[in-house]
Amino acid sequence: MSAEVVLRTVNLGKQYKKRWAVQNVNLEIHRGDVFGFLGPNGAGKSTTIRMILSLITPTDGSVELFRHQLSTEREAALAKVAGIVEKPDFYLYLTAYRNMQIAGAMTLGKKPSRTMIMDNLQLVGLAGRAFDRVKTFSHGMKQRLGIAQALLCEPELIVLDEPTNGLDPQGMKEVRDLIVRLSREHKMTVFLSSHLLNEVEQVATHMAIINKGKLVAQGSVEDLLHSKLHNVKISVLPAKKSLAILKKLKTVKDAALDGDSISALINNADIPKVVRMLAAAQCKIYSITPQRSLEEYFLSVTEEN
């Protein structure tokens, strides 16, 4: 039995004058997923996220969160959702603690307890700066405070739009680690939009790719990356003999020498057959390494569209 659908968009679209920024986007995110939402700059990621979080009214389609229609049951739909859109924003003239209080009061309907606020600040390593004004915080600290603020309402779905934008490598790693912790330890569903492919590759279990406002792929990262021909690197001796064998196989494309190895495009399912053929010809296989990365996949589907 598949997990509960926490977010579903049906034919979601937004039109500005005559141009569709997003069109017919159908997403389905299940409880526990870390869902990577990929797309080049200007593809419609932020517009989609803003429609999901009710910052933008869709021109077409609908958003359903935890089985509540966003358009008609906004408060119930957003009750278990938190998000950071593009960058976390704060009342810079207030302290981190006060900012947490305001966000908490708006979500919980009551003043959040001091313990609750301090625990969340502790989680992101900002407890020591709780009573400093946010205007004195670095970008990375603001990003972490944004996450602490989002977690205050104990959300079951957290929507993060480009969460590592503008962070240094250390900050990016901290945020990525935090996302993994939220998913594993706090059992949160994470919707993560990014144009950084390695970021999504490292943390996501499922993903969708949007290009020019339209969804071009959706599924588990594993399935998507293995659904087409893989670029594999085969370390085999003798290389030239092996290359001649591979070139004869219809299931192998673009086989070529690559230094002492061979690179070729092979469907995942055909790899055992290739190994058998080479072994039967007395070739010594040392390794077969898939070279296909998310970047490669991303470029292939966005270029196709």
Partner 1 sequence: MMNLVYYELFKTYAKWRTYIGFIAVAVIIPLIMWGMHLQSGHNFVQHQLSSLQSDFLITGNLFNGWSISQIIMNSLWVHVPFLISLVAGDQLAGEATAGTFRLILIRPVSRTRILVSKYIATLFYTASLLVVIAALSLGLGLIIFGSGDLLAVDRDMLTILPEAHLWSRFLLAYSLAIWSMWVVASLAFLFSSFVENAIGPIIATMTVVVALLIISNLPVESFESIKPYLFTTYQDVWQQAFKEPMDWSHIAKSCSVLGAYSAVFYSMTWYIFKKKDILS
Give long-range contacts, CB 8 A cutoff, 24+ apart: 99-105: 99/134, 99/145, 99/149, 100/145, 100/148, 100/149, 100/152, 103/149, 103/152, 103/153, 104/152, 104/153
Complex with partner 1: residue 52 or 178, whichever CB lies closer: 52
CB contact burial 280-293 (16+ within 10 A = b; e otherwise): eeebeeeebeeebe
Between 57 and 227, name the residue whose CB sits nearer to partner 1.
57
User: Smallest distance from the beta carbon of 15 to partner 1, in angstroms?
Assistant: 12
Q: 18 Cβ partners below 8 Å, 6+ apart?
A: none
Instruction: In angstroms, give the least distance from the CB of 296 to partner 1.
Output: 33
**What minimum distance in Å lies between the beta carbon of 278 and partner 1?**
56
User: Which residues contribute to the site for partner 1 (CB under 8 A)?
Assistant: 50, 53-57, 74-79, 81-83, 85-94, 98, 101-103, 105-107, 109-111, 149
Nearer of residues 141 and 221 to partner 1, judged by Cβ: 141
The gap from C-alpha 46 to its chain's centroid, in whole angstroms, comes to 13
Q: Which amino acid is at 215?
A: L
The number of angstroms, rounded, from the C-alpha of 265 to the middle of its chain's C-alpha atoms is 27
Minimum distance from CB of 186 to partner 1 (Å)?
Answer: 19
Q: Least separation, in Å, of the C-beta of 39 and partner 1?
A: 18
With respect to partner 1, which residue has the nearer C-beta, 155 or 278? 155
CB-nearer residue toward partner 1: 154 or 295? 154
